[in-house]
Chains A and B, each alone.
Chain A
């Protein structure tokens, strides 16, 4: 049974399963075929789930006994690649680092429990920059992941394997984490949809921490609808993570995309904050802000700029209003981000002592060592005020400036990356050049806002995306705008070159 897993969405698969076009086992076999074909070259998956076929067969048995199971389990039979910093019980979890080379967690991360409960299957653990430290996948202690559209180029990072696995058909969705762009950049470089939810939307429990005030738990999909569907499963208050929140009386995010405005409780729906936006703006037009400081940035590659401008024009031609906005302190956000994240990294990695799990600290790679040392430096006596405290103040300014801008526009759009996917090795010896990859992404993490990366027209024949940013908690708006953009943009066909 041959079919192209790259073009499949969760929505389509469930329709096909009901029509008995193929079984879950067939689907998993097709994904595994892609793994067999491509993984040696692109190194997206570090460890396969050896029991996946067995689990797929069980799904088929359960479906045969009870057709309604797809309604009860919204992710029934869907194979996920899981970024290797998510604790998965019984499956190796390395966070891309030799320190945890042999670590097998005795428990599942909260998100993994939710995904499993919704019927999802885990096909394997995906490669990543060790500890999330990187923008290209080159900092993995287990070899870099390669971009499925051009193997000499990076797939972006740090969720490199998750994006590459999805783009090459090894799975139908994948998970990631975004602390300074680590979902949005690989989503952009691999031509898939990437969601960075609001900080605190999705539980961080069981996910190996990088920067605890910045880590956002998100995912990659082939469509905006699928992204909304998965968020409906993962976004809830978790007693194991006291930084989680939710908006009052929310309805599942994908309901807005189906026009399913009626729920059982009329009051529940009417009280929904997001309903008010949808009801008001569905007939009228959304206003999208374009950050003036990004547009004048001389560091943007010309093709990327053209692709972004083409996207803006497309939106304007289809009823969206574009308006220039300003984030005056945005040029300091990269420095502030790196100070804060390195400080938090140095603290979080203190637990890797080789006593309760893993190997000792001599197993850390170069980028981890750099970040721990600099993090320790900025927190140490005599330097704390000059660096860390100052960075926290910049964070206040950036957060306030974004919130102010989002009062005059519904959402903000921007390019995701200042350049098309770069060559492996091009920036690996220049940490600062590597850090500049995140220039459009880190301000969003500092402000704690949600952002959706949606593929747009290619730049230099390689994938390129736009980023849509909204107020805290307003992911539904991201999905509404994102799916409208998907519809008017049409299909983007870039061939795999593995």
Chain B
């Protein structure tokens, strides 16, 4: 069985997990590595093209600067509605994990 050169290293996947807050363990990263490498190989196809002079398309509607006046319009959600789906809440606030402790995911 040939050792395939993986397009994406375990270190890189680890790095991406940190960037995207995905809590994967070592075993899971090993499982994902070959599939992700295969997908990267597939999308690498674009590297064969020279597209220097072509502008990017960010959106296809051509709409620009869609604005409205700074007025209260329509009904928004009540505080209770906003909080209704939260697992942790206190004093009409969302409860979150402490931000200033260690930087684990």
Which residues of A line the B interface, CB within 8 A? 103-107, 199-200, 213, 239, 242-243, 245, 332, 335-336, 338-339, 346, 350, 353-359, 361-362, 364, 366, 369-370, 372-378, 380, 386-387, 389-397, 399, 431-432, 435, 447-448, 472
CB-defined contacts of A332 to chain B, threshold 8 Å? 45-46, 49
Distance in angstroms between the alpha carbons of A395 and B54 in the assembled complex: 10
Distance in angstroms between the alpha carbons of A494 and B94 in the assembled complex: 53
B60 and A448 form a contact (CB under 8 A): yes
B38 and A369 form a contact (CB under 8 A): no
CB-defined contacts of A243 to chain B, threshold 8 Å? 59, 61, 63, 66
B82 and A374 form a contact (CB under 8 A): no
A376 and B16 form a contact (CB under 8 A): yes
Which residues of B line the A interface, CB within 8 A? 8, 12-13, 16-17, 19-24, 32, 35-36, 38-40, 42-47, 49, 51, 54-61, 63, 66, 68, 73, 77, 81-82, 84-88, 94-96
CB-defined contacts of B84 to chain A, threshold 8 Å? 104, 106
With both beta carbons as reference points, the residue of chain B lying nearest to A199 in the complex is identified as B60
Pairs of residues from A and B, 6 with the lowest C-beta to C-beta distance, nearest first: A448-B60, A392-B56, A357-B85, A106-B81, A242-B66, A393-B51
With both beta carbons as reference points, the residue of chain A lying nearest to B31 in the complex is identified as A366
- Chain A nearest CB from B53 CB (Å) reads 9
CB-defined contacts of A376 to chain B, threshold 8 Å? 16, 19-20
CB-defined contacts of A338 to chain B, threshold 8 Å? 39, 42-43
A-B contact pairs, 14 of them (CB 8 A): A239-B73, A332-B49, A356-B82, A370-B36, A374-B40, A376-B19, A377-B8, A377-B12, A380-B19, A390-B47, A392-B57, A393-B54, A394-B49, A399-B60
Chain A facing B: main interface SS: helix
A396 and B54 form a contact (CB under 8 A): yes
B63 and A432 form a contact (CB under 8 A): no
Residue from B22, B38, B54 in contact with A373 in the complex, judged by beta carbons closer than 8 Å: B22
Distance in angstroms between the alpha carbons of A358 and B88 in the assembled complex: 11
Residue from A103, A346, A387 in contact with B85 in the complex, judged by beta carbons closer than 8 Å: A103
Residue from A104, A370, A375 in contact with B32 in the complex, judged by beta carbons closer than 8 Å: A370
A350 and B61 form a contact (CB under 8 A): no
Chain B facing A: main interface SS: loop
With both beta carbons as reference points, the residue of chain A lying nearest to B56 in the complex is identified as A392
CB-defined contacts of B63 to chain A, threshold 8 Å? 200, 242-243, 245
Given contacts A103-B85, A104-B85, A431-B38, 8 further A-B contacts (CB under 8 A): A332-B46, A335-B43, A335-B44, A338-B39, A354-B87, A356-B94, A389-B56, A396-B56
Distance in angstroms between the alpha carbons of A358 and B40 in the assembled complex: 30
With both beta carbons as reference points, the residue of chain B lying nearest to A349 in the complex is identified as B20
A387 and B77 form a contact (CB under 8 A): no
With both beta carbons as reference points, the residue of chain A lying nearest to B47 in the complex is identified as A386
Distance in angstroms between the alpha carbons of A354 and B87 in the assembled complex: 8
CB-defined contacts of A390 to chain B, threshold 8 Å? 46-47, 49, 51
**A357-B86 contact given A373-B22, A390-B47, A432-B38, CB 8 Å threshold:** yes
CB-defined contacts of B94 to chain A, threshold 8 Å? 355-356
Central interface residue in A354, A362, A393, by most chain B CB within 10 Å: A393
**A355-B96 contact given A243-B61, A361-B21, CB 8 Å threshold:** yes
- Chain A nearest CB from B8 CB (Å) reads 7
CB-defined contacts of A392 to chain B, threshold 8 Å? 56-58
B61 and A199 form a contact (CB under 8 A): yes
A370 and B58 form a contact (CB under 8 A): no
- Chain A nearest CB from B81 CB (Å) reads 4
B36 and A374 form a contact (CB under 8 A): yes
CB-defined contacts of B56 to chain A, threshold 8 Å? 389, 392-393, 395-396
A350 and B20 form a contact (CB under 8 A): yes
Distance in angstroms between the alpha carbons of A386 and B23 in the assembled complex: 27
